[in-house]
Amino acid sequence: MPSKSELKDRYRGVMDRVAAAAERSGRRPEDVLVVAVTKTAGPDEIRQLIDMGHVDLGENRVQQLQQRAAMTDEFLGRRQQMGGSDATEAPAEVRWHMTGHLQRNKVKAVLPLVRLIHSVDSLRLAEELEAQGARAERDVQVLIQVNIAGEAQKHGVALPAVEHLSEQIETMVRLQLRGLMVIGPNTDDPEQNRDVFERAADLFREVRASGVNTDRFNILSMGMSDDFEVAIEEGANVVRVGRAIFGDQTNGDPDDR
């Protein structure tokens, strides 16, 4: 496990690069939200990040998310009992994001744990989220995952189908459509993904202009460790960063990488 100061340095480095990219695109650093994806992180590192004041955490798998949300709950509970007396910037709560493919039979388990689901990729999944949201009397905030580059191995809605799915979600009572999520193709050269991110930003504007509730359709989630700066320059306001913060070690589930 890397030392505390290594994690701190990497985290500060990512936050500085996010801030610089936001400024290059005419925005303020606080206009871009960083979701720290914990799939390669160990529990200690997650706790250290929270102690640095970080709030938004992401996971790809429901089982990992359940374990980790229970862990962060317990950790924050203990922090509160201590009355915030020691030198910690730990927030009162963390917000978990579901970033991975979600199966319909897992919806019920994940719903109480997450603030935002980034990965709605079918009408049937949207309908299940609506049904379970209604049952729990709880609004459900979602993004539509778009497969911009048309990659066969990736989840996500094909570009031409996005507007129709967004219209269908808008008719649902408990689902609140907050925006779009895009995963750039794997590449060594982030510039290669600029075009994909530019098309995603165009699509985002088109859907916004198509009659969705624009008060809440305001999230464009794109950019990961290898390409978050380019994504921000092209308009991302949420980035999902794992390895650049936690390093490349395999504390998490190797299948996820």
User: Residue 37 in contact with residue 240, Cβ under 8 Å?
Assistant: yes
Give per-residue burial for 74-113: e unless 16+ CB within 10 Å, then b: ebbeebeeeeeeeeeebbeebebbbbbbbeeebbeebbeb
- From the list 25-33, 164-172, 211-219, 237-245, the region that binds ligand PLP by CB under 6 A is 237-245
243: contact with ligand PLP by CB under 6 A: yes
State the residue number with the nearest CB to ligand PLP.
Answer: 242
Cβ within 8 Å of residue 112, ≥6 positions away: 136, 138
68: contact with ligand PLP by CB under 6 A: no
Positive or negative, the Cα torsion across 229, 230, 231, 232? positive
Nearer to ligand PLP, 169 or 236 (CB): 236
224: contact with ligand PLP by CB under 6 A: yes
- From the list 17-25, 68-76, 211-219, 234-242, the region that binds ligand PLP by CB under 6 A is 234-242
Picking from 64, 62, 141, the residue whose alpha carbon sits closest to that of residue 109 is 62
242: contact with ligand PLP by CB under 6 A: yes
Nearer to ligand PLP, 41 or 175 (CB): 41
- Written as one letter, the residue type at 209 is A
Helix (H) or strand (E) holding 97: strand 95-98
Contact residue for ligand PLP among 38, 60, 166, 237 (CB under 6 A): 60
Nearer to ligand PLP, 138 or 257 (CB): 257
Q: In angstroms, what is the minimal distance from the CB of 13 to ligand PLP?
A: 13
46: contact with ligand PLP by CB under 6 A: no
Backbone angles phi, psi at 158, to 5 degrees: -65, 145
Picking from 222, 206, 62, the residue whose alpha carbon sits closest to that of residue 146 is 222
37: contact with ligand PLP by CB under 6 A: yes
Nearer to ligand PLP, 95 or 243 (CB): 243
Which residues contribute to the site for ligand PLP (CB under 6 A)?
Answer: 37, 39, 60, 99-100, 183, 224-225, 240-244
